[in-house]
Structure 1
Amino acid sequence: MADVLLGIVVENLGSFLREELATILGVNELTEKLSRNLTAIRAVLQDAEEKQITSHAVKVWLQNLADAAHVLDDILDECSITSKAHGGNKWINRFHPKKILASRGIGKRMKAVAEKIDVIAAEGQKYELRVGVSEEHQRGDDEWRQTISVITEPKVYGRDTDEEQIVEFLLRHAVDSEELSVYSIVGVGGLGKTTLAQVVFNDERSIIESTIGKNSDLSSLESMQRAVGEILQNKRYLLVLDDVWSEDPEKWDKFKYLLQRRNGKKGASVLVTTRLDIVASIMGTYPAHHLGGLS
C-alpha cells in the first residue's frame, strides 16, 4: 500500500528533522524538500490506485514510487541506528572523521533518491491525478447508492462463466473451510460487479443462510456490530459487501474479528465487490476474481 508506506516515510523524515540528524549530516534542506514532495504525491495516491486498474503506466508509476520510498526509508533507518549506536552525542558525531565520511555518503544517496522522486512527481502530472478523488466519490455514492439483494437488471448477459466460477468457489472451497472465506470481485465501474454479486447471492446452490444490508461502509463499524452479531451468530452465511473503497486494513481487521468472534458455522463466506486491487488484497483470503469487459 503506497499510501501507508509514504505516510511512514514522511513521518520518519519529520523525526529526522526534529532530532537534528538532518542538520548534522548537512541534508536539512533536502529533507524538507523530500517531505514536501512526498506529502504532495500522497494526496493524489487514491486516484492513482483507482487508475492503475486500467492504466499499466500508472501501475508502473506507483511501483517506481514505492521502490524509491523503500530506498529512502532504508537510508533514514540507517541514520537512526548509527546515531543511537554512538550514544546520540550530536557534536562528537558531527566532527568525528568517520561521521564526516558517512554524512557525505548519506548526502549523496539522499540526493539521488530525491532526484528520482522529482522525476516521479513530474511524471505523475501527466496522468492528471486528482486530490482525494476516492473520498469524494465514496461520499457521493453513500448519499444515493444502496445495494439490495434483488436483481435489478431484467436480464444478465455474458456473466455465466463468472457466476459459475464464484459459485464453484463457494461450494467447493469455502463450504468446508473452518476459517472465514473472503472472495473479491474486482473491476472498473460499469462492468457489472454489483449485478454479478446479486446473481451469485440469489443462486440457490450457494445460499445456506444469508443476510441483507445497506451499502457497506467499514467506517461505521461500531453501529454495525450489534446488528451483525444478532443476524450472523451460529449461521453459515454469505455476506455481500458491495462497492468497498476503504483501504484501511485496521478497519477490516476489526470487522473480520467481529465476524469470526460470532462463531459462524463452517463455510461462512464474504463476497466483496470493489474497483481497487489494494482493497481485494487487504480483505481477500483467496485470489481476487477480476472482471473483464464484455466482448
Structure 2
Amino acid sequence: MAEAFLQLVLDKLISLINREIGLILGVDNEMKKLCSTLTTIQAVLEDAVDKQTESKAIRNWLQKLNAIAYEVDDVLDECNTHVSKLNHSHSKLSRYSLKKILYCHKIARRMKQVNEKVEAIAAERTKFHLREMPVHRPREVSLASRETASLLNESDKILGREEDKDKIVKMLVNDVKDKQEMSVLPIIGIGGLGKTTLARLVFNDPQVEQHFDVRIWVCVSDNFEMKTLVKAMIESATGSGKATDLQHLDAIERRLWELLSKKRYLIVMDDVWNDNQDKWFELRDVLSCGSAGSSVVVTTRQKKVADIMTTLPCHCLEGLSDEHCWALLQQRAFGPDEEVPPQLEITGKHIVKKCAGVPLAATTLGGILRFKRREEEWIHVRDSEHMEVVGRREFDNAGFEIELLSCSSGT
C-alpha cells in the first residue's frame, strides 16, 4: 500500500514540476528537493515492505512514511488548486496581489516543513540496512497523478454505492435512451470519496453492458490533449494498441468516428481536471456521431469542470455511512477468516467516525491497523493528535470548502 501511494505522490509531484507550478509559487527548488528525497526512499521501499512482518521498527517506519505521504499529497493539491485559480482570474493584476504574496510565503513554509519531515524519514532508513531496488519507471516523464481501469476490484462490490449506481444506471438506460444529442453526466466528489469506484460499478452493470453497443473507459487526469485522449478511446474500444499506428490527428479522429458512428456508446472519462471549455467542445464535436442514448460519464473533483461539460444534473457523491466505513477498515485490518475481538470492534467503530465517510480514509486506516492487535494500540490511533485535518480540498467556484480527516496516524 505504501509503495502504491508513494508512487502516486511522486507522479503528482513530477507533473507539477513539469508544469512549472513550483516556479509560479516560488517553491520549485523545494519541489525538486522533495522529489529527490522521495525517490531515494522509493528505492528501498520494496525491501522494507517485505521485511515489515518481522520487524516492528520497519512497520513503524512505514506507518510514518504513509502519514507524511498524505501530508505531501495535500500540499501538492493545494498548490495545484491555487495556481488554477490564478490562471482563471479575470484580472492579471490579481496574480501579483498582496494576497498572492502572502500565500506564496505560506506555501513555501509548508513545503519546507514537509521536506524536513521527509528528509528525517529518509535518514532513518539507514538504520534498517535495506536493499535498494531498481525503479523501473522513468522519473523524467510527466505522468498523470494516477491511472485507472474499468475492471472491478473485489472491494468495489461492498462500498455501499448501490443506490448511487442504480440511480445513474436508470438515467443512462431509461431516461436518456431516446435523446438524440449526446448526454453528459458528471459525478462530483472530493478526492478519496469513491468516484472511480462508482463509475466502475456503473460501467460493469449488466443492464449497461446490454444497453450500449460500445463501452469505452479512459483515465484523463490533467492531460486533456486531444490526440492522446482520442487514441486512448480507440484502444479501449478495440482492446488493442492499433491506434498508436496512426500519427495524424485527422486520421485518429476519423478512426474513432468510424467506431462510434450510428452506435449507442458509453464513454467514462475518469478524473477530469480540464476546465478549458474550448478543448471540451473540440472533443464533443468528434463524439457527436453516435445514435440516440449515447452518453458520457465524467468523474471530477471540480464543479467548474462539471458545469462546462454537463447536459444532465450532476451526481454529487456523498460520504459513506459509518457502517460501510467500518466494513472497509475491517477488511484491511484483519484477514478474511480472522475473528475481530469485541473490544477492537468497539474502538474501530469510534475510529471510523474520523473518516468523515471517505472510503480512502477507512482503507488507509485499516492498513495502519493491520499489524496492531492490542487494544491500547487501537486506542492510541483513535486518540492520536496526528489524526488531524490535512486533506483540504476545494471545488473551484462552488462557494464552499470541504475538509477531510486524514488517514494519517502517529506511532
- Measured against the shorter chain, the TM-score band is 0.3 to 0.5
Structure with bigger gyration radius: 1
Q: TM-score normalized by structure 1?
A: 0.44
Q: What is the TM-score of this pair, normalised by structure 2?
A: 0.32
Higher relative contact order (CA 8 A, sep 6+): 1
